[in-house]
Amino acid sequence: MTRALRWGLGLAVGALFLAPLAWLVVASFLPSSAIFDADLSGSWLAREWTLANYPNAVRRAGLGRALLNTMLQVATIALGGLLVNSMAAFAFARLSFRGREPLFGLVVSLIILPVEVLAVPMFLTTRDLGLGGSTTSLLAALSLPFVAKAFNVYFLRQQFLSWPTELEEAAVLDGASTWRVFWSVALPSIRPALATVVLLDVVTHWSDFLWPLLVTTREDSRTVQIGLANLFTEPPIDWGAILACAVLATLPVMIGFRLLQRHLGHADARVGLR
């Protein structure tokens, strides 16, 4: 296959995936009456353009508060999970203790459980703990059940297993404790893998719908996806506002991906069981 053909094929596939996103952005600047009768011809340029959809989306979806709630939820899950999951992964990879392999097998088995199976037990647990009343406890209810993740522990463990033992031995000879080896030597060496799990957490939980729907009971506790969904149920149905809300809800994820993208290509792909 020639270089030009590869480039052409790549551009065609890229255009295929980007076309819905491009339509979303363009249609968000059109009046609702003109969105669905627009075609792919030059008539796009003759349309009446408007910026009113964006303030309407912010006002009707309570998007300012919803974005803040979602950012706090995602940041708590990603940063808290980074510490908890990396510590667990380091223990499974580098520390020797009784029952390590069976316990790790149990953790791996949890990967197959979807959130729908765990939603009711998690809801009952958060209710019994009294979470969800104040703003702080609501943030805890949204975030704490997802801080520890079986897949992240598994993925990071494989990265620690591929980490050269010579570095660990040199640190121990220099008098470093297990905590110092973990914090100062091991974590910096798997930085691309850490960026990968953070990005996965951001993408996964930015689009959360079921769990926030279960635990958020007040209007000021809405997350982005709940605010967007409410635009479909609160009349009048304004498709311009819906599309504008979708654009604003997508932007933070795209920015986060762009910031972390340079790390992803260097993440170790060796995640097979050892």
Q: Check which CATH number belongs to the domain holding 218 and give it.
A: 1.10.3720.10
Instruction: Judge contact between 104 and 92, C-beta under 8 A.
Output: yes
Q: CA torsion 241→246→247→249, rounded to 10°?
A: 120
User: Does some domain include residue 12?
Assistant: no
State pTM to two decimals. Answer: 0.83
Q: What percent of the chain has pLDDT over 90?
A: 26
39 assigned to some structural domain: no
Please state the rounded mean pLDDT for residues 7-27.
87
| Residue 232 pLDDT greater than 70, yes or no | yes
Q: What are the strands, taking DSSP E only, across the chain?
A: none
Whether the per-residue pLDDT at 269 is higher than 80: the answer is no
Q: How many CB atoms sit inside 10 A of residue 34's CB?
A: 17
At residue 255, the pLDDT reads 85
For 188, the domain range is 51-264
Average pLDDT over residues 154-158: 93
Is residue 260 assigned to a domain? yes
pLDDT (tens digit per residue) in 159-207:
998 888 787 778 888 888 888 888 888 888 888 899 889 988 998 999 8
Number of structural domains (the chain) is 1
What's the angle, vertex CA 65, arms to CA 149 and CA 57, rounded to 5? 110
Question: Above 80 in pLDDT, residue 30?
Answer: yes
Whether 179 is in a domain gets the answer: yes
Q: Which of 49-58, 219-228, 256-265 has the lowest mean pLDDT?
A: 256-265
Distance in angstroms (rounded) separating the CA atoms of residues 88 and 107: 10
Residue 274 confidence class, pLDDT cut points 50, 70, 90: very low
Q: Which of 38-52, 126-140, 152-166, 205-219 has the lowest mean pLDDT?
A: 38-52
Q: What pLDDT is stored for residue 155 in this prediction? A: 94
What average pLDDT does the chain have? 84
pLDDT of residue 273: 38
Residue 72 has a pLDDT of 92
Helix-strand-coil split of the chain, %, nearest 5: 75, 0, 25
Q: Which two tokens stand for residue 147?
A: 């801080």
Predicted confidence at residue 39, as pLDDT, reads: 52
Single-letter amino acid, residue 21 = L
Task: Give 49-99 as a DSSP string.
Answer: P-STHHHHHHHHTTHHHHHHHHHHHHHHHHHHHHHHHHHHHHHHHH---TT
Is the pLDDT score of 132 beyond 80?
no
Is 86 part of any domain?
yes
- Distances from the Cα of 94 to the Cαs of 91, 164, 267, in angstroms? 5, 11, 20
pLDDT surpassing 70 at residue 229: yes
Looking at residue 268, its pLDDT comes to 43
The 10s digit of each residue's pLDDT in 39-76 is 545 455 556 788 889 999 999 888 888 999 999 999 99
11 lies in some domain: no
User: Span 104-125, mean pLDDT?
Assistant: 88
Residue 146 lies in a domain: yes
Given pLDDT bands bounded at 50, 70 and 90, which one contains residue 272? very low
Residue 33 lies in a domain: no
